[in-house]
Amino acid sequence: MASSSRAMSKLPMPSVAMASRMLAQTPRRAIATRATAGKPQNALTRQFRRGYADEAAPARTPKPRRFRAWRWTWRLLKLSLVGGVAYVGYGTYQDRHPEPQVAPDPSKKTLVVLGTGWGSVSLLKRLDTENYNVIVISPRNYFLFTPLLPSCTTGTIEHRSIMEPIRTILRQKRASVKYYEAEASSIDPDRKVIHLVDTSDIKGTITETEVPYDMLVIGVGAENATFGIEGVREHSCFLKEIGDAQLIRKKIMDCVETAAFKDQSQEDIDRLLHMVVVGGGPTGVEFAGELQDFFDEDIKKLIPEISDRFRVTLVEALPNVLPSFSKQLIEFTESTFKEEKIDIKTKTTVKRVTDKTIEAEITRPDGKKEKIVLPYGLLVWATGNAVRPVVKDLMGRIPAQKDSRRGLAVNEYLVVQGTRDIWAVGDCAVAGYAPTAQVAAQEGNFLARLFNNMAKTETLEEDIRELSGSLNVKPGNSAEISRRIEETERQLRRIKDVKPFNYSHQGSLAYIGSEKAVADVSWFNGNFATGGSLTFLFWRSAYLSMCFSSRNRLLVINDWFKSKLFGRDVSRE
């Protein structure tokens, strides 16, 4: 560029203008090439002359439509990329620099929320915390995105990518919220207190205490159902919490390395490499699929000598897996599992579990029952939910709950039957819906709306009382005050008219391995069932959009790329 400007200074005045026009038209690369050739001035003059001679610029040939469409697509892509980065950047900045919080008003009611799962966190996200003194109690100081938990067992996703600290979530609220890392051991509905215990490893002088409440929301979820089958609790792994996924990941590699041990007996190699999953619901199916992927894509390549010995068996007591999905998706899943060499044993009931074997009873097509013994290296138990002790204890204290078996029976406003100021959400509540994250989240959202409305109602009622008190105090103000009372009453009627909770089913999704998924999606008034590789992309994008924060989303995307590019990490912690 320096040499070009020097060349221009030697030209007569009109020529300078022409030269600068020419320069603007000359491609930068042409100038740079000439400059490096060491004759910038001559080259420029030649170019200038040629430009002068052909004054009339050649007519541009219009670009074909095809290219125009590409150009526009490319521009749109760039624009959406910039928009996306700006959106994520702004969200992240806001998360990292929240506004100062206001202190809660001690005269307001104390609302205690038990748990930091789907139900409770959905409530907390939408609750206007300025209306209450909110206290959250949970032994888990983070929210866990459970739908991607099966992917953590094989290292497709790292566990921290699907965790969101509750402190970060609560810091985003306008009025501050108290959090206690503890387990509620009992609830006294007569005294309106919760007894809590610090169950963490490090303890202070005080490990137990009581918290009084005016309003209580129970969202403690459920524990694993073992149906009292001998040996299940002692010998199997569950898949509910992060710790469970970490344990499974360790055990898979332990089984593989032990099977590869020098001079290992053939019998033990077969047993150790036999992974059994009990429970053919979405969790069991997803885990079986992830496990087979892990073996096919990574372990097989790293330890080829054991490649023909690895087996996954899925055991289900019902006649088919994924009982809540459409018939064609069940068939699709079963045929995909056959291709993946996952053995499905339906109509099979586990009777007893020892440290190395599962004893079960299988019903043959002719109706005959047969006893089978399955030696296993890893057993994952994913059969459903049981009531937590704190919920069982509360149910025992409320006479109206005496007939309830599967959790706290609630009315259409999610109020625990037999109480006036206790609500329940999610897996611990019996409202007539399946125990899913979708239901729990919608229930939490509903309660947030209800509580926000209740607070507004109280404010409006207070306003009406004040306005009524000032009526006729000053002469001539009655018409204006009556009008304001009427308007406030109208607002009050609108707010008070809260419809009961109504669950809206969005559909069911499940990953079935080999980058395939099945989806039963609600479509207007009907249902749209689909399965395969495209559904897998839909499954991924749906779960990605449902992740709690942008941080979670970016981490999950990063994990997917990482495991695809470098393979899953097989090192055992």
Among 4, 26, 47, 116, contact with ligand FAD (rule: CB under 6 A): 116
Among 333, 438, 514, 535, contact with ligand FAD (rule: CB under 6 A): 438
Q: In angstroms, how far is the first alpha carbon of the chain from the final one?
A: 58
Window 117 to 136, contacts with ligand FAD (CB under 6 A): 117-120
Residues whose CB falls within 8 Å of the CB of residue 229, separated by 6 or more in sequence, listed in order: 350, 351, 352, 353
Shortest distance, position 60 Cβ to ligand FAD, whole Å: 56
Draw the binding track, 72-91, toward ligand FAD (x: CB under 6 A; -: no contact).
--------------------
Say if residue 99 is exposed, middle or buried (CB neighbours under 10 Å; 0-12, 13-18, 19+).
Answer: exposed
From 144-152, 255-263, 410-418, 476-484, give the range in contact with ligand FAD by CB under 6 A: 144-152
Window 457 to 476, contacts with ligand FAD (CB under 6 A): none
> By the 8 A CB rule, do 55 and 21 touch?
no
**Residue number with CB closer to ligand FAD (17 or 537):** 537
> By the 8 A CB rule, do 137 and 112 touch?
yes
**Residue number with CB closer to ligand FAD (488 or 508):** 508
Among 183, 293, 298, 340, contact with ligand FAD (rule: CB under 6 A): 183
Task: Give the span between the Cα atoms of 59 and 543, in whole angstroms.
Answer: 53
From 24-32, 110-118, 207-215, 366-374, give the range in contact with ligand FAD by CB under 6 A: 110-118
Nearest CA to 19 out of 37, 46, 38 is that of 46
Draw the binding track, 372-411, toward ligand FAD (x: CB under 6 A; -: no contact).
----------------x-x---------------------
Residue 483 corresponds to which amino acid?
Answer: R
Shortest distance, position 478 Cβ to ligand FAD, whole Å: 51
Shortest distance, position 429 Cβ to ligand FAD, whole Å: 8
Among 110, 226, 283, 445, contact with ligand FAD (rule: CB under 6 A): 283
- The two beta strands, 208-212 and 193-197, are antiparallel
Q: How many residues bind ligand FAD (CB under 6 A)?
A: 34
Q: What pairs with residue 401 in β-bridges? A: none
Q: For residue 40, state whether it binds ligand FAD (rule: CB under 6 A).
A: no
Q: For residue 220, state whether it binds ligand FAD (rule: CB under 6 A).
A: yes
Q: For residue 184, state whether it binds ligand FAD (rule: CB under 6 A).
A: yes
Q: For residue 517, state whether it binds ligand FAD (rule: CB under 6 A).
A: no
Rg (the chain; Cα; Å): 33
Q: What tokens were used for 292? A: 């087979």
Shortest distance, position 390 Cβ to ligand FAD, whole Å: 4
Among 114, 277, 380, 448, contact with ligand FAD (rule: CB under 6 A): 114
**Residue number with CB closer to ligand FAD (240 or 345):** 240
Task: Give the span between the Cα atoms of 224 and 379, in whole angstroms.
Answer: 14
Four-point Cα dihedral 322, 324, 325, 327, nearest 10: 90
Among 31, 229, 239, 408, contact with ligand FAD (rule: CB under 6 A): 239
Say if residue 258 is exposed, middle or buried (CB neighbours under 10 Å; 0-12, 13-18, 19+).
Answer: middle
Q: For residue 140, state whether it binds ligand FAD (rule: CB under 6 A).
A: yes
Shortest distance, position 501 Cβ to ligand FAD, whole Å: 14
Q: For residue 150, state whether it binds ligand FAD (rule: CB under 6 A).
A: yes
Shortest distance, position 313 Cβ to ligand FAD, whole Å: 19
**Residue number with CB closer to ligand FAD (147 or 231):** 147
Q: What angle do CA 450, 452, 456 make, to 5 degrees?
A: 115
Among 138, 313, 326, 445, contact with ligand FAD (rule: CB under 6 A): 138
Q: For residue 436, state whether it binds ligand FAD (rule: CB under 6 A).
A: yes
Among 40, 104, 115, 289, contact with ligand FAD (rule: CB under 6 A): 115
Task: Give the span between the Cα atoms of 165 and 116, in whole angstroms.
Answer: 10
Q: For residue 279, state whether it binds ligand FAD (rule: CB under 6 A).
A: no
Task: Give the span between the Cα atoms of 481 and 369, in whole angstroms.
Answer: 80
Q: What pairs with residue 142 in β-bridges? A: 165
Q: Tell me how far CA of residue 185 lies from CA of 135, 230, 336, 391, 416, in angstroms.
A: 16, 26, 45, 9, 18
Q: Tell me how far CA of residue 78 lies from CA of 71, 102, 544, in angstroms.
A: 11, 41, 21
Nearest CA to 194 out of 216, 172, 178 is that of 216
Q: For residue 240, state whether it binds ligand FAD (rule: CB under 6 A).
A: yes
Residue 544 corresponds to which amino acid?
Answer: L
User: Helix or strand or coil: residue 203?
Assistant: coil
- Residue 460 backbone phi and psi in degrees, to 5: -65, -40
Sheet holding 183-188, edge to edge: 183-188, 193-197, 208-212
Question: Considering all CA atoms of the chain, what is the largest pairwise distance in Å, rounded to the nearest integer?
Answer: 107
Shortest distance, position 157 Cβ to ligand FAD, whole Å: 12
Shortest distance, position 436 Cβ to ligand FAD, whole Å: 3
From 20-28, 71-79, 218-226, 372-380, give the range in contact with ligand FAD by CB under 6 A: 218-226
Window 416 to 435, contacts with ligand FAD (CB under 6 A): 426-428, 435
Task: Report the residue number whose CB is nearest to ligand FAD.
Answer: 117
Task: Give the span between the Cα atoms of 463 and 455, in whole angstroms.
Answer: 13
Shortest distance, position 513 Cβ to ligand FAD, whole Å: 15
Neighbours of 407 (CB within 10 A): 27
Among 137, 358, 360, 414, contact with ligand FAD (rule: CB under 6 A): 137
Chain residues in the site for ligand FAD (CB under 6 A): 114-120, 137-140, 146-147, 149-150, 183-184, 219-221, 239-240, 282-283, 388, 390, 426-428, 435-438, 440
